[in-house]
């Protein structure tokens, strides 16, 4: 592997299994990123940190065999002088040409810390007030081309996001997104909380991924404090993660049917999701498991009645989902809307860094539960599903496959649940060290980078949702499709506004 020398020079990183870290110079930052790109590696996240000494540190997490490596760069030591467009601030080597998903992450770093990459798109990403005079969307010129602005305010309760379509007739020539309208201050809020309380905020970064984010946060903290979670607690975490995966796939399969004019699908999958939510409430006291995972294990044990309710529900959902899948597959109206819509070819998916379930539908066979299994997934041995068609139909098929597999895993976990404690105490973590949490949530890999401060405080916490990588791919998936198909294609990805708008 071309990346092997970089792993060999690195040291262990607390938290995620197999994670490593390496301090690099400016030249090495670029050289290592090129090695990962050449080896087919993935950029998991890019973020910055202002240290107590006022030095700016840049971090980029990459995955490739044999694991995950975080590159650390002190920008003040290795940056080059900026140009007039950057107001003469320091710069660092950009990674956008190697990993296109880095672009928005680099723009967020520029807005938050005032340091630009050498290939930076200079338009503000988070500082919307600076674009109030007119955000310079990329224009498409030509006969018959016109623009359709959608948002940022949408119907219902979804968060704001602006979509600028350039179209000829109903065919889409280009889509450009602008997100980050709320900028809730989640990362700043982390620094005002205790390391023992912040798991609750992590669970609310993106509410549909509460288990994924709270587990990743707890994993980072437990790695820093060298805490070993009891086996029962680890298995219960996996149970919650699969329940959350099932909840979201049930909701999406119903919504996708409805977007294609098949209200029966929405009714049936909404019914199944409600039954699962009720079973979760019986088992853990919460429908959406926002506070189930805590540092050291689980907030509460699983009572026998709760286990029985979950097992019965998983069996029922698995059986009915199999029947509903046959209906979806045989319905000509659904097939006509799903097949060939919103195609992302494997080559394009690899180039743009598409990850998670959407990536697996486009030939990107990557799932942390299988490729970097932690406890208990090494023993559970979940099955990996994928495809190469890369259209709405392929993403629907992945949801069906993973939903049925989650039902199987729920039954497997309940049957083999170890005895013993579900939680242990977590000692104070050392200050100013980086811990990394990495979990394959339902949408894709969720990363949490945690740096504790003195006396149990938090100096920096960066939660990263896979939507950062996947939102730009949606811009390509809609090209040459008609405008009325956008809601269907968009829902087939079902990306997070909240997880992208910290």
Secondary structure, 3-state, 254-319: HHHHHHCCCHHHHHHHHHHHHHHHHHHHHHHCCCCCCCCEECCEECCCCCHHHHHHHHHHHHHHHH
Q: What is the pLDDT of residues 392-426, one digit of tens each?
A: 999 999 999 999 999 999 999 999 999 999 999 99
Write the DSSP assignment of 339-408 as a string of letters. Answer: TTSS---HHHHHHHT--HHHHHTTT----HHHHS--TTHHHH-PPP---S--SHHHHHHHHHHHHHHHHH
Residue 27 to residues 71, 75, 121, Cα–Cα distance (Å): 12, 12, 21
CA 238/CA 432 separation, integer angstroms: 30
Q: Which residues pair with 60 in a beta bridge?
A: 46, 71
* 76, 27 contact by CB (below 8 A): no
Residues 333 and 293 in one domain: yes
3-state SS record for 308-342: HHHHHHHHHHHHHHHHHHHHHHHCHHHHHHHCCCC
The string of DSSP letters for 1-30 reads -TTHHHHHT-EE-EESTTEEEEE--HHHHH
Does residue 355 contact residue 45 with C-beta atoms inside 8 Å?
no
Q: What is the pTM of this model?
A: 0.94
pLDDT of residue 399: 98
156 and 110 within one domain: no
Whether residues 163 and 300 share a domain: the answer is no
Predicted local confidence at residue 89, as pLDDT = 44
Residue 38 has what pLDDT?
A: 93
Tell whether 168 and 67 lie within a shared domain: no
| In-domain check, residue 258 | yes
Q: Is residue 114 part of a domain?
A: yes
Q: Are 89 and 161 within one domain?
A: no
Rounded to whole angstroms, the Cα distance separating 131 from 384 reads 43
In sequence order, which residues have a C-beta less than 8 Å from that of residue 164 and are 6 or more positions away? 137, 147, 148, 149, 150, 175, 176, 177, 178
Number of Cβ within 10 Å of residue 326's Cβ equals 10
Q: Which two tokens stand for residue 214?
A: 């709270």
pLDDT at 50: 85
CATH number for position 104: 3.30.460.80
Identify the bridge partners of residue 447 per DSSP, sorted by sequence position.
438, 464
Question: Along the 502 residues of the chain, how does pLDDT read in single tens digits?
Answer: 578 889 999 999 999 999 999 999 989 999 999 999 999 999 999 999 987 666 889 999 999 888 999 999 987 654 443 444 333 346 899 999 999 999 999 999 999 988 899 987 888 888 787 655 678 888 998 889 999 999 888 877 788 899 999 999 989 999 999 998 888 899 999 999 999 999 999 999 999 999 999 999 999 999 999 999 999 999 999 999 999 999 999 999 999 999 999 999 999 999 999 999 999 999 999 999 999 999 999 999 999 999 999 999 999 999 999 999 999 999 999 999 999 999 999 999 999 999 999 999 999 999 999 999 999 999 999 999 999 999 999 999 999 999 999 999 999 999 999 999 999 999 999 999 999 999 999 999 999 999 999 999 999 999 999 999 999 999 999 999 999 999 999 999 999 999 988 8
> Is 375 a member of any domain?
yes
Please report the pLDDT score of residue 79 as a whole number. Answer: 46
**Is 132 part of a structural domain of the chain?**
no
* Beta-bridge partner residues of 12: 20
Residues 251 and 362 in one domain: yes
CA distance readout (Å), 387 to 320, 360, 489: 23, 6, 17
Residue 81 phi/psi, 5-degree rounding, is -65, 140
- The answer on 285 and 144 residing in a single domain is no
Examine the domain organization and report whether 89 and 237 are in the same domain. no
Per-residue model confidence (pLDDT) at position 453: 94
* pLDDT tens per residue across span 66-104: 899 999 998 765 444 344 433 334 689 999 999 999 999
Cβ atoms of residues 57 and 46 within 8 Å:
no
pLDDT at 155: 76
Are 397 and 433 in the same domain?
yes
Residue 393's Cβ-side half-sphere holds a number of Cα atoms within 13 Å equal to: 16
Residues 72 and 171 in one domain: no
Q: 271 in a domain, yes or no?
A: yes
In a domain, 380, yes or no: yes
pLDDT at residue 153 in the model: 87
* Structural domain boundaries enclosing 442: 186-500
**Angle subtended at Cα 267 by Cα 474 and Cα 444, rounded to the nearest 5 degrees:** 35
Beta strands (DSSP E) in 132-212 are 145-150, 162-168, 171-178
Structurally, the chain folds into a number of domains equal to 3
- If asked whether residues 146 and 78 sit together in one domain, one would say no
Q: Are strands 293-294 and 171-178 parallel, antiparallel or unpaired?
A: unpaired
| 350 in Cβ contact with 364 (< 8 Å) | yes
Helix (H) / strand (E) containing 246? helix 231-259
pLDDT of residue 77: 52
**Which residues have C-beta within 8 Å of that of residue 332, sequence separation ≥ 6?**
none
Are residues 82 and 211 both part of a single domain?
A: no
- Residue 131 belongs to some domain of the structure: no
CATH for 438: 1.10.645.10
């Amino acid at each position: 592997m071309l990346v092997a020398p970089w792993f060999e020079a690195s040291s262990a990183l607390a938290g995620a299994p197999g994670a490593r870290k390496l301090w690099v110079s400016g030249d090495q930052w670029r050289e290592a990123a090129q090695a990962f790109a050449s080896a087919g590696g993935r950029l998991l996240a890019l973020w910055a940190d202002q240290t107590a000494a006022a030095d700016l540190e840049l971090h980029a997490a990459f995955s490739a065999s044999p694991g995950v490596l975080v590159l650390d760069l002190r920008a003040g030591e290795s940056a080059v002088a900026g140009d007039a467009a950057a107001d003469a601030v320091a710069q660092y080597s950009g990674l956008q040409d190697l990993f296109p998903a880095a672009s928005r992450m680099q723009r967020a770093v520029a807005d938050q810390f005032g340091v630009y990459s050498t290939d930076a798109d200079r338009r503000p990403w988070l500082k919307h007030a600076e674009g109030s005079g007119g955000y310079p969307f990329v224009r498409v010129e030509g006969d018959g081309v016109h623009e359709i602005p959608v948002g940022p305010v949408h119907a219902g309760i979804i968060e704001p996001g602006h979509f600028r379509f350039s179209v000829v007739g109903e065919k889409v020539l280009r889509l450009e997104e602008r997100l980050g309208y709320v900028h809730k201050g989640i990362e700043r809020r982390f620094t005002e909380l205790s390391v023992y309380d912040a798991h609750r905020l992590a669970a609310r970064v993106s509410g549909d991924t509460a288990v994924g984010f709270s587990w990743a946060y707890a994993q980072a903290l437990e790695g820093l404090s060298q805490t070993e979670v009891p086996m029962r607690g680890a298995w219960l975490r996996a149970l919650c993660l699969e329940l959350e995966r099932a909840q979201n796939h049930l909701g999406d399969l119903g919504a996708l049917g409805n977007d294609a004019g098949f209200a029966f699908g929405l009714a049936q999958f909404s019914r199944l999701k409600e039954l699962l939510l009720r079973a979760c409430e019986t088992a853990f006291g919460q429908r959406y498991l926002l506070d189930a995972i805590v540092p050291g294990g689980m907030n509460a044990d699983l009572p026998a009645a709760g286990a029985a309710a979950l097992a019965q529900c998983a069996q029922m959902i698995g059986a009915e989902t199999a029947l509903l899948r046959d209906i979806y597959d045989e319905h000509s109206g659904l097939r006509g809307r799903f097949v060939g819509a919103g195609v992302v070819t494997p080559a394009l998916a690899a180039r743009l860094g598409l990850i998670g379930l959407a990536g697996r539908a486009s030939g990107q066979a990557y799932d942390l539960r299988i490729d970097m299994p932690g406890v208990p997934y090494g023993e559970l041995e979940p099955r990996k599903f994928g495809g190469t068609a890369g259209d709405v139909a392929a993403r629907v098929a992945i949801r069906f496959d993973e939903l049925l597999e989650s039902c199987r895993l729920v039954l497997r976990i309940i049957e083999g649940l170890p005895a013993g404690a579900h939680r242990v105490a977590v000692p104070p973590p050392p200050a100013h060290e980086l811990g990394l949490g990495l979990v394959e949530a339902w949408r894709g890999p969720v990363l949490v980078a945690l740096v504790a401060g003195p006396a149990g405080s938090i100096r920096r916490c960066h939660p990263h949702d896979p939507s950062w990588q996947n939102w730009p791919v949606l811009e390509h998936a809609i090209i040459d499709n008609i405008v009325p198909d956008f809601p269907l294609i968009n829902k087939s990805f079902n990306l997070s506004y909240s997880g992208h708008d910290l």
